[in-house]
Amino acid sequence: MHYVYLLYSETTDKFYVGSTSNLDQRLHAHNAGNNTSTRYGAPWRLTYYEAYEEKSDALIREQKLKHHGKGIAELKKRLSCRRQKGAG
């Protein structure tokens, strides 16, 4: 399986989108400061992921989220709606 994931940093109040075949290992690497893009946001929290059988599908989805502003905005909106519904 290949995953596209969304991380959130309370430290910087920022999100990060990535892809991997091992979510646990990748999250650990982000929190250990092994990634230049996320070095200063630790601790990072996994807030969302999607699973794909094909790596190419995961990479296409990752690029769409990273380079099409509305994609990640819609995903954040969906996640906030889900949190609001679960809180009541």
Residue 57: which CATH number? 3.40.1440
Instruction: Give 11-62 pLDDT, tens digit per residue.
Output: 999 999 999 999 999 999 999 999 888 989 999 999 999 999 999 999 999 9
Residue 17 confidence (pLDDT)? 94
Residue 88 confidence (pLDDT)? 45
pTM of the model: 0.84
For residue 42, the enclosing domain spans 2-87
Number of domains in the chain: 1
C-alpha separations of 69 from 18, 23, 64, 76 in Å: 15, 24, 9, 11
Element (H, E) at 83: helix 69-87
Structure tokens at 86: 């679960």
User: Cα(62)–Cα(17) distance, rounded to whole angstroms?
Assistant: 7
Residues 59-83 have a mean pLDDT of 80
